[in-house]
Amino acid sequence: MDEFSTIARRVLIVDDTRLSREALRSFLEGEPWIAALDTAGDLAATIERVRDFCPDVVLLNMATVGSLGIVGAVVGAEGAARVVAIGVSGSEDEVIALAEAGVAGYLLRGASRADLAMTMQSLARGESLCPPQISAALLRRVASMAAERRSLTAGSHLTAREHQVLRLIDQGLSNRQIGQHLGIEVRTVKNHVHNILEKLHVHRRGEAAARMRAVGPPGAGAPSS
């Protein structure tokens, strides 16, 4: 018994193009890691087959209409079915959307039979095998989220005066207008703006205001110049 036959899985192919769906089924029939094979062409059929066929893995062609909705339906259904997205473009937006929807594996356009077999093997071990392009996109997203958290945390370290300046920036006031409003020199306003950008780890005034809108109103404190 080879290593793939020890992890044989019930596989459901979901693709709304009949020719493509049947071609993939013919392509996979006889593979030692497949215990049983079935197909579906849309959301309703997928839900029915997940209930009756009880697949271990759903191979979903991302060109299928409503593919993200199908991912959500499979992930939210009873059972242990895991979704492998096939024909993924590799764009960061698509990768993140699929990860958030609960996809367990990715196959880029042009992936081979061997790529699919390795992905199935990794799923059997409780792992998620991702092409380097996919992994890079996910890591960029994690880094971006970490930077956002650092910026939001840094917002709590702004002084009361910096919060005042930031609120006025959010209202669209220039440095000169902010200085007139607060009764301080323009040079002082510039220093406050510089400190705000550094503390929030952003480069533009609008980005700083957007960060603080996400945090909400600051705590009370006596203003200081």
Q: What is the pLDDT of residues 207-221, one digit of tens each?
A: 888 877 766 555 433
Angle at the Cα of 31 (from 25 to 35), degrees rounded to 5?
85
Closest listed residue to residue 81, CA positions, set 111, 103, 66: 103
In the numeric block, the tokens 């059972």 are attached to 79
Q: Are 39 and 22 in contact (CB under 8 A)?
A: yes
Prediction pTM value: 0.58
Concatenated DSSP letters for 30-79? T-TTEEEEEEE-SHHHHHHHHHHH--SEEEEETTSTTHHHHHHHHHHSSS
- Count of all residues that appear for the chain in the document: 225
DSSP state letter for 156: T
Q: Are 36 and 11 in contact (CB under 8 A)?
A: yes
CA distance 34 to 99: 25
pLDDT at 26: 92
Mean pLDDT over each residue of the chain, to the nearest integer: 81
pLDDT at 3: 45
Q: What is the pLDDT of residues 88-145, one digit of tens each?
A: 887 778 877 888 888 888 888 888 888 888 888 777 777 666 666 666 666 666 656 6
CA distance 15 to 37: 14
CA distance 33 to 6: 7
Question: Which pLDDT band holds residue 9 (cuts at 50, 70, 90)?
Answer: confident
